[in-house]
Chain A
């Protein structure tokens, strides 16, 4: 139990320290991004930074609660947690509230709860439970499909809310699957799909199809002594071409203009800083304004002028960039990298499959959030609205990530007891 000093020492304090640093610096930047010189009394709960402070305090309560529970509780109740989570997502279609276009919220008075933020932890638990089952064999197609279903169900419910960003995060579960033995072919396939997708957008389907054909013929001729199968090569080339053309079709006919724009901006095809590219351009200006050491706390002109939209939520990293400069931003990047690496390192130490798989799930989810969010803010990836863990303003997000992380801290702390 948490009361005993042995247990307290068994928690990984590196993770806890990194967590506190992230939440703390996140709050400082939310303060800066939402601070308004004369608008409100400091302690008014209309101030977003005061709200976030309350969220953090409640989050600490959640941490204590999670650490108090028995480590075995999570494994035992994972299926139930998962089902409750799915139901809470489905319930949105009936009871959900719409905020900025997405019906992702339950309203309790002034407090909004976003179940998709908690579903990630639930799915991680369910997947860990399923994969750690002795009867599950990840090499078998049947079990692979079952695992995919566990992952895909919440994502499929989230997509039509619509919240494609949150759904995208479920791709993170590829990492624990791969770690547990999923065939490398999936990796190659996934990588090829992404590569073909980008190439098609950049060069058009005709060039990509032609390129696939040339490479196919080249490899075929090169390997002709080994008597390669013509059909296989032909099939792969055909699949590439077909994929390229369908990507092109979907991009041009199924995607809406705003989606197309988001890709085009990142691919450098279309730069219009005033309308479409406004978010990205403003975010880059704010970050660039930071220089080596930043403008200083509360001194960011872009932050003060609120030029970057959603700066306290999805674009919070631009505040870091402007006010704390290259040094501060690098520090935050290192905090995230450090946290993720620490989780991976600890996961590998787990003697219990459930804990290890869950740890990989946590690392994957945090990583995907980090990459997609910071990549977007830095103008490297298309605009996808997902928060930066521990940093972005919002109670559900903070609590969801806190629970996700501290379940792992609890599982890890229990490692010794499993001996």
Chain B
């Protein structure tokens, strides 16, 4: 027994120690993380972000050095705060606040005190810096915009937030990432790959050498430059035309699907989101819920297309063999389909065949054609689904697949949708219930870029290429194959010619005959879309949206365009004028129809936009119709009470 005491204690100790070692080294894995934090300093080497060029190789986005004033709180020696604040151009409270924040974050680690100072501010400060111990200047790279437009498709750069860091291990706190537009879409290409250097630290946080002799270190890979399909001149011109208006212009090259211009108005100067004023500017625009400058209306706005849709109705009618180009259909100021309210039409010659129907935008003609193409089938359900399949082949009712990070699918109803809304089979529904679709009203909606795309498909007589903004990745020299594949529509190419002729007629003798451009054969289609808003919870009609689609030249088209001006009244008023001069600008390089240009530039819609917000009764569509009667009554109440 006495022999066993020490023996058993020794053995017991051995078991306890091995158990403890197992716990510390194998079971509990937290030490590896802690030791990494302890002993390894990771330094990143950020490559320069790729530049962005327009289709004519004009530099539009490059980089500029920017300077952050950094401080390591415990190394700060007493200094002349007044002088320093003057140099930095900030007030003392701000400096004190930032220094306290830095101290709370860490007394030993650097914190940003004044971010993103310009070169000029830095030059002023640079030689004085030695007076201020504990402060230093850190250089980093910011975007430098060579243009003051195009912010909607360029996007911007911002510091990553926690959710991005959690989702993508590449990013560390403080890294920059592209947001919106091209910057987000081609982030990986523009960004390059940051280099990593690992250093061994000692217990005083000093670097004592490279970690594992640098075998884990990587070199930075520079970002690639991008060439966009955007024509900077055209884009700039478009934005100028859209001054004081809301809406968008989207121009495509039908032969390739390249986006020539992507104007969303109102827009903003991309430089507003760079530098010290960035967050102030961003907040201001973010909370502007009335003009919404951060919303890209071309990609996100879903509107009823209005009359331009008639071209599609005609094409489907021809493909389904329910109409030919010679049949004339009469219009008696509208189309009466047995409902209580006929589908009205404006004054024009009657009866009309297809070409004239398109040129004069006759509602009765297209209601007839639409109805026939649905009723050709045994059930309206089959008819609608067939109709939808044709439209889908034009890229409608679904995401278009372009290379920008935002978008909407638009809406093309199918039989399921109508079955649900009419409670089929409890109640039955017929083609006439959906008759508004014939003229691009009713349930149909699409984004302006979808309108431009189907216009391009018509211009190409039956096919399109997915719209895209990437022309070339420098150093790679190819673009994603998705943008090189021809998308064929379900309409036979031979049916396009009469529709193209009709659209040509729009310019020749139809609804846009005043907008002719000498020397260019333009095909177009006007559109006027009713729209509504809510004021005090009541549905109120506003002045119609002016829409216009066009392509030119008629043969071998080089540009297809969709213009959309909110509350611009009728199609040729704003939309048509803008489309015409944009086409001329692109094809000729200069504008001869100065009268059109002048009219657009000098006409503001700001008064129109102020109406619903004014709280006062107002009239729409050039005073013909006074809306919001309840507002009028409210006004009267006030008078009475006085």
Contacts and interface: CB of A to CB of B under 8 A. Distances in A.
A284 B2 CA distance: 36
Contacts of B21: 287, 321, 326, 329-330, 333, 378
Contacts of A344: 6-7, 10
B24 A301 contact: no
Interface in B225-273: none
Contacts of A292: 25-26
Contact of B5 (A179, A286, A291, A307): A179
B120 interface: no
A378 B22 CA distance: 11
A181 interface: yes
Interface stretch (B207-215, B378-386, B427-435, B556-564): B207-215
A330 B5 CA distance: 23
Contacts of A187: 5
B18 interface: yes
Nearest to A273: B34
B20 interface: yes
- Chain B contact-residue range equals 35 or more
A128 to B, nearest CB: 15
Nearest to B18: A330
Given A290-B25, A326-B22, A333 B209 contact: no
Interface string B197-214: 000111100001101100
A378 B5 contact: no
Interface stretch (B35-43, B307-315, B516-524, B630-638): B35-43
Contacts of A379: 20, 24
A51 interface: no
A408 interface: no
Contacts of B6: 175, 179, 344, 360, 363-364, 367
A25 interface: no
Given A179-B6, A301-B211, A380-B20, A329 B25 contact: yes
A275 to B, nearest CB: 14
Contacts of A333: 14, 17-18, 21
Contacts of A330: 18, 21
B25 A288 contact: yes
A304 B31 contact: no
A337 B21 CA distance: 15
Contacts of B622: none
A289 interface: yes
Contact of B7 (A288, A321, A325, A341): A341
A157 B32 CA distance: 44
B16 interface: yes
A367 B2 contact: no
Contacts of A337: 10-11, 13-14
B28 A288 contact: yes
A373 to B, nearest CB: 11
A178 interface: yes
A348 interface: yes
**B7, B14, B30: most-surrounded residue (chain A CB, <10 A):** B14
A340 B16 CA distance: 16
**B28, B35, B211: most-surrounded residue (chain A CB, <10 A):** B35
Contacts of A326: 21-22, 25-26
B38 A367 contact: no
Contacts of A325: 25
Interface string A102-131: 000000000000000000000000000000
A371 to B, nearest CB: 6
B38 A285 contact: yes
Contacts of B639: none
A289 B35 CA distance: 6
A374 interface: yes
A371 B38 contact: no
A175 B5 contact: yes
A288 B2 contact: no
A288 to B, nearest CB: 2
Contact of B35 (A288, A306, A363): A288
A287 B18 CA distance: 12
Contacts of B18: 330, 333
B420 interface: no
Contacts of B25: 287-288, 290-292, 321, 325-326, 329
Contacts of A290: 25
Interface string A321-360: 1100110011001100100110010001000000000001
Given A333-B17, A333-B18, A337-B10, A305 B31 contact: no
B640 interface: no
A140 interface: no
Contacts of A367: 6, 9-10, 13
Nearest to A336: B14
Contacts of B202: 304-307
Nearest to A36: B208
A326 B21 CA distance: 6
A181 B21 CA distance: 35
A364 B11 CA distance: 13
B494 interface: no
Nearest to A288: B31
A291 B200 contact: no
Contacts of A285: 31, 34-35, 38
A223 interface: no
A306 B3 CA distance: 43
A302 interface: yes
Contacts of A307: 38-39, 202-203
A325 to B, nearest CB: 6
Interface in A32-47: 37-38
Given A337-B14, A344-B10, A305 B201 contact: yes
Nearest to A296: B212
A98 interface: no
A362 to B, nearest CB: 11
A257 interface: no
A4 to B, nearest CB: 33
Contact of A305 (B3, B13, B14, B200): B200
A189 to B, nearest CB: 15
Contact of A304 (B20, B29, B32, B200): B200
A300 to B, nearest CB: 9
A181 B5 CA distance: 12
Contacts of B40: 301
Contacts of A179: 2-3, 5-6
A123 to B, nearest CB: 17
A370 B209 CA distance: 34
Nearest to A182: B2
A299 interface: yes
Interface string A375-409: 10011100000000000000000000000000000
Contacts of B28: 288
Contact of A287 (B24, B200, B203): B24
Nearest to B213: A37
A304 B199 CA distance: 11
A282 B203 CA distance: 10
30 contacts: A37-B209, A178-B5, A179-B3, A181-B2, A284-B24, A285-B38, A288-B30, A290-B25, A299-B212, A301-B200, A302-B38, A302-B39, A304-B200, A305-B200, A305-B201, A306-B203, A307-B38, A322-B35, A326-B22, A326-B26, A330-B21, A337-B10, A337-B13, A337-B14, A344-B7, A378-B17, A378-B24, A379-B24, A380-B16, A380-B20
Given A178-B2, A288-B30, 18 more contacts: A37-B209, A38-B209, A181-B2, A301-B38, A301-B200, A302-B38, A304-B200, A321-B21, A321-B24, A321-B25, A329-B25, A333-B14, A333-B17, A337-B13, A344-B6, A348-B3, A367-B10, A380-B20
8 closest pairs, A vs B, by CB? A288-B31, A301-B39, A289-B35, A305-B39, A337-B14, A326-B25, A305-B202, A288-B24
Interface of A: 37-38, 175, 178-179, 181, 187, 282, 284-292, 299, 301-302, 304-307, 321-322, 325-326, 329-330, 333-334, 337, 340-341, 344, 348, 360, 363-364, 367, 370-371, 374-375, 378-380
